[in-house]
Amino acid sequence: MRLAFLVLLALVSGAWFSEPSACAGMSAYEVASGSPGLRAEWTWGTSHATNLGQIDWADSDQITVVEDINWPNSHNAFLDGGSTDYFALRLTGTITIPDSGNWGFSLGSDEGAALWINGQLVIYDGDAHSYRDIQGSLYLNAGAYPIEVRYREGSWTNGLVLEWTKPDLTTEIVPASAFSYTDPPSSSDDTKGLKAFWSSGVSHAQNLWQVDWHRYTASSREDNVSWRLTHGAFYLDGPTQSFAVRMVGKIVIPEGGSWTFKLGSDEAAALFINGQEIIDDGTTHSFRWVSGTVTLTAGEHDIDIRYLERSWTAGLFLTWQGPSDTYESVVPQSALIPGTVDDLGSSGTGGLRAYWTTGVSHATNTGQIEWDDYTFSTVVPRASWDLTHGAFDESAGTQYFALRLLGTIDIPEDGLWTFNVGSDEAVEVWIDGSLAIYDATTHSYRWKSGTVSLIAGLHDIDIRFLERSWTAGLHLTWQGPGDTHEIIVPTSAFTATDMGADGSGSNGVAAYWTSGVSHAHNLSQVDWNDFTDYTVEEALSWPLTHGAFYENGPTQYFAVRLLATIEIPSTGDWTFNLGSDEAASLWIDGEEIIYDGTTHSHRWRNATVALDAGSYDFEVRYLERSWTAGLTVTWKGPSVPYEEVIPISALTPRSLVEESGEGLRAFWTTDVSHATRLGYVDWYDHTSTTIVKNISWRLTHGAFYDGGPTQYFAGRMMGTIEIPTTGTWTFNLGSDEAAALYIDGEEVIYDGSTHSYRWRSGSKSLSAGSHTIEVRFLERSWTAGLFLTWRGPGDIHEQVIPSIALTPAADTAGGEANPGSLAANWSTDVSYASRIGQIDWNRYDAQTTESNLSWRLTHGAFYLNGPTQNFAGRFYGTIKVPSSGAATFHLGSDEAAELRINGETVILGDGTHSFSWTSATVNLSEGLHTIDVRYLERSWTAGLFLAWTLPGETHPEVVPSAALSPATAPVDSTIGVRATWYSSSASSLSGVDWSGSPLATTEEQNICWKLTHGSFYSGGPTQNFAGSLKGTLIIPESGLWVFNLGSDEAADLIINGSTVVSDSSPHSFRWTDGSVYLTAGNHAIEVRFLERSWTAGLALTWRGPSDLRESIIPPSAFVEQSGLELLTWTETDPSQ
């Protein structure tokens, strides 16, 4: 074992590690008895050092004890687990000399070593070399002497061996028995070292001089300038890259004379003594040493060390070599006295006025900022902000802000001055109103310089900075004539000045605002002659915002038309740049220069136009839908290298000239909740009429006209349209919720099913001149909106059709030519019926003639003085089909309806329900066909519509009156049954004496009495009676027959002597069914009925094997009276 033992200690540093000092004599001295071996202090990672003097021997990583100094040259580690490259070793202790005399020493090393005995340098071989032995000798008296060996290893092989030659000239490796050591006392002196001021986040700096040395983020006291190359931090929790440190204090020079200082750094450093730059190695580099020499007197001197680290490895060392020194050494802590913050020096008093503008995400360069429009102002000391994700000023935010710095700069001497501005992400520098540096497009942090000849004295300075996102940083340096490098322009050079007034006066732009334009997907779908508000604006710049463009204005779904006269100052090519979120266009003298009219996030579009100096009409149109909004207009004149927001001084407001035109005739229909598509509206049935200027209604919850409805309405706009040029015209119809366009009677656009707002287009070849136009619109609920645009041959984009192109139709145009009608038979008081088939269509209570089948949902009556509930209607006549083929009929009803064509059921919407549509298709030949529509309404709302989709058509329309002719519905007058009436106090049918004396007999067509408080026959009783109805029923086909018996209050059905339906106990009106298999032919039928009190009603329906539904058994289904038995009625005694 070469090691006696391993001592694990913390990092040790102290004044006792200073250079060994020679003793006055070479006699042995008294030493305390120590432990065997030598104290070994190991320092790892010393790749920075090229010789022993560049090792900080006061800074070690590990301490052990070794037996002797005997590591032959090899690739092996000196210490188990230790490094084989780039390490240093300091061995200290005592050496015992057994005999007095001349002692020779041989120090073998790879790659550098030195030996001190009793403080005297015996051997120095400190520069790098391969393994070699160096000898030295001295006279020593027997006894113990302090010994120190210093060793540095670079790379490849390593070795260290100490031999001695005794006075008898025998040579050997110094034995372990000659060595001993004692641990030195711990020593620390907080009054020594240097004060370090740390700056983090200086990634902007490419050299030392781009660091603002008057600002710091942390401070500490450091023992000396000694940081080995590392990927770690220089101090606890410090940064590992993009940092700078300035170390200030005093250095104590032990003797006067010429002193050489060496500064080792990765990656930039400088040394100042007494304010004089001794070493400038300020450009970034990998680790290297640079030296400088200065004559100094013994005593204290100011010292200032500046260091910049950008990335990867960092390291910093300072060595010195005095007039009497044979080699350099790291400046020890004992030679340094910490400074204070005052030693940083003052950047002076003064500063710049800072104008901050927030929310400028619209801008991609500095020319797109309105610099006269700011959010707040402050005073800042200088133009120096390190790269950060944080804020330059707490109120400005961390992104999308602009900063304008105004003031004067004091130039100390005449000559060429180079200014260097570093920015992330765009900047301009102006001096005396001239552009000195232009780096205005957005970029990551970079530097850009400019040189200008200036005389000594004050000059105006204007710095304009734009930050968009991520990191932000800004620095301004200068370098005057004769200066060796740039520095941050100090505060003392600046004096803040205020921004002058913009002098807008009567200048500006007239702004015509339109709110609620959510219908529009592009500029062309806005009616620019329809505005809701007016202001005069003093700038053509609205930065991106979630707020309003003007006080109390909307934040989304708005449009603005900006009108002004623009003064062009010089003749030449002018480039205009239009930035918008979300659509905009620019016009000069009525010519569209820029069109960016489709919706988009913020972007810029530009165009160049040749203009003479003078005045021009100027117009900007802008559309905002949702989220953020922003609008800015810039210009760049001939020979000008940069754009700028058009100054307000160049603009004078201009009034909007409203267009004149007649418009269209509008026929309005209310209460169309039945209609779920355009084709279900009766366009000949309107409730009011108005004149509208054009087809331009923004999405609204309000009415389209004064006093009009807000939902469930339809509008039919009619007139003529003047087509200016012959060619193909494209029309675009926007609607919520259904619409169609007809020109010259032909369908151009049909978007007839209900939907939220959307646009549909269609094209038609038209000759120049007048053409008829018709727009149909249906609104059900929630929002309503309707727009019509056109785009003619050669047009780039659409526009809302102006009123000047429209002429209204006559007020009679909404009527139908050559109207027809249907005969209507009305039945009242049918509350007993819940289905179409339970109505006796052979009987009716009133007759009218109706123009067509078109009753909007209502709580009112279908005809004058008619009932509002519990009624039925049968509409009969002929329908004229214009062409042969498959015709689809659409029957809409609340609550039940049936359509028969030529006697066949086409649609059966049986059963009570709220309003709904049912469709069916039938092949019909051209010409007349019988039509029979049956309708049942029970309660609440009532409504009935009949529409058709003719062969070759794609959508329906209400069957027009012109297609209908009335006819008399066939009536069956057959006498089918005979009834016998009885008086009866029985509580059920079984208690009735059917053999008793009858009260009366009657002849009845069939078995159907509506619910009534009256009697079933003339002069008959209204309660406590019974009836037996008998006859012969003709069954048309064999099979299972279902009979449904409705009664209030008890009834039985008997066929061929067998009970088919029994509902014999008293009850309110209800239906009870039963089924029986019957052969085709005649069958005996009897219905027995009992009524006690209140209402009475009786009805009988059947449904055969092939029937779709039940129906009241008609009179024709019974054998004529001559083949019937006589039925007798008996009245019951109410007292029994």
User: Which residues are paired to 734 by β-bridges?
Assistant: 759, 787
Longest dimension (CA), the chain: 173
Q: Nearest to residue 307, comparing CAs of 290, 323, 332, 329?
A: 290
Q: Is the CATH code 3.40.640.10 the one for domain 664-808?
A: no
* 982-1020 residue pLDDT tens: 999 999 999 999 999 999 999 999 999 999 999 999 999
Fold of 15-181: Jelly Rolls (2.60.120)
pLDDT of 27 above 80 = no
Asked whether the domain spanning 822-966 has the same topology as the one spanning 15-181, the reply is yes
CATH numeric code, 977-1131:
2.60.120.1560
Q: In Å, what is the CA distance from 234 to each residue of 196, 244, 512, 924, 1056?
A: 11, 10, 63, 98, 116
Residue 1066 in 3-state DSSP? Answer: coil
pLDDT digits (tens, 9 = 90+) for 359-395: 887 788 899 898 988 999 999 999 999 888 999 999 9
What average pLDDT does the structure give for the chain? 91
Q: Is the pLDDT of residue 556 over 80?
A: yes
Cα 233 to Cα 42, 193, 230, 309, 603: the distances in Å are 21, 19, 8, 11, 44
**Which two three-digit tokens encode residue 1052?**
């039985």
Q: Can you give the length of the chain in residues? A: 1136
pLDDT tens, position by position, 814-860: 777 778 899 999 999 999 999 999 999 989 999 999 999 999 999 99
Query: Distance of CA 984 to CAs 148, 243, 414, 619, 1020, Å?
Result: 143, 116, 135, 95, 13
As beta bridge partners, residue 158 has 74
Q: Give the Cα separation of 735 and 757 in Å (integer).
A: 5
Over 90: is that where the pLDDT of 345 sits? Answer: no
The CATH number of the domain covering residues in 509-653: 3.90.182.10
Nearest-angstrom CA–CA distance, 1048 and 832: 9
**pLDDT surpassing 70 at residue 504:** no
Average pLDDT over residues 482-494: 91
- How confident is the model at residue 188, as a pLDDT? 67
CB 799 within 8 A of CB 524: yes
pLDDT attached to residue 860: 95
Tell me the fold of 352-496. Answer: Jelly Rolls (2.60.120)
Mean pLDDT of 124-143: 95
pLDDT digits (tens, 9 = 90+) for 140-177: 999 999 999 999 999 999 999 999 999 999 999 999 99
C-alpha 290/C-alpha 302 separation (Å) is: 20
Q: Is the pLDDT of residue 725 over 80?
A: yes
Mean pLDDT within 768-783: 96
State yes or no: pLDDT of 341 exceeds 80. Answer: no
- For residues 919 and 884, the answer to whether their CB atoms sit within 8 Å is no
Residue 1095 has pLDDT above 70, yes or no: yes
Q: What is the mean pLDDT of residues 35-52?
A: 94
Query: What pLDDT sits at residue 187?
Result: 66
Burial letters for 591-628: b for 16+ Cβ neighbours within 10 Å, e otherwise? eebbbbbebeebebbbeebebeeeebebbbbbbbbeeb
Rounded to whole angstroms, how far apart are CA atoms 430 and 436? 5
Mean pLDDT confidence for 686-710? 95
Residue with the two structure tokens 């902007």: 204
Q: Going by C-beta distance under 8 Å and a sequence separation of 6 or more, which residues neighbour residue 217?
A: 198, 199, 200, 201
pLDDT of residue 1120: 65
- Count the Cβ atoms, other than its own, within 10 Å of residue 475: 25
Amino acid of residue 679: G
Query: Are 263 and 250 spatial neighbours (Cβ–Cβ below 8 Å)?
Result: no
- pLDDT exceeds 60 at position 13: no
What is the C-alpha end-to-end distance of the chain, expressed in Å? Answer: 137
| Higher per-residue confidence, 359 vs 905 | 905
Check if the beta carbon of residue 631 is closer than 8 Å to that of residue 579. yes
Which tens digit of pLDDT belongs to each residue from 206-240?
999 999 999 899 999 999 999 999 999 999 999 99
513-538: per-residue pLDDT in tens? 999 998 899 999 999 999 999 999 98
* pLDDT over threshold 60, residue 7: no
pTM over 0.85: no
Gap between the Cα atoms of 680 and 945, Å rounded:
7
Average pLDDT over residues 427-443: 93
Q: 642: Cβ–Cβ under 8 A, 6 or more apart, which residues? A: 366, 367, 428, 435, 438, 440, 636
Q: Do residues 758 and 795 touch, judged by C-beta distance below 8 A?
A: no
Q: 488 Cβ partners below 8 Å, 6+ apart?
A: 209, 210, 211, 212, 213, 214, 382, 384, 475, 476, 477
Answer whether 895's CB lies under 8 Å from 912's CB.
yes
What is the structure's pLDDT at 364?
A: 85
> In the structure, what pLDDT confidence band is assigned to residue 16 with cuts at 50, 70 and 90?
very low
Structure-model confidence comparison of residues 499 and 281, the more confident one: 281
Report the pLDDT value the prediction gives residue 505, as an integer from 0 to 100: 58
Give strand pairing partners of 1090: 1026, 1050
In CATH, what number does 822-966 get? 2.60.120.1560
Confidence of residue 3 (pLDDT cuts 50, 70, 90): very low
Q: What is the residue type of 20? A: P
Q: b/e for 79-115, b at 16 or more Cβ within 10 A?
A: beeebbbbbbbbbbbbbbbeeeeebbbbbbbbbbbbb
The CATH superfamily assigned to 194-344 is: Galactose-binding domain-like (2.60.120.260)
pLDDT at position 704 is 96
**Which residue ranges make up each domain of the chain?**
15-181, 194-344, 352-496, 509-653, 664-808, 822-966, 977-1131
pLDDT at 913 over 50: yes
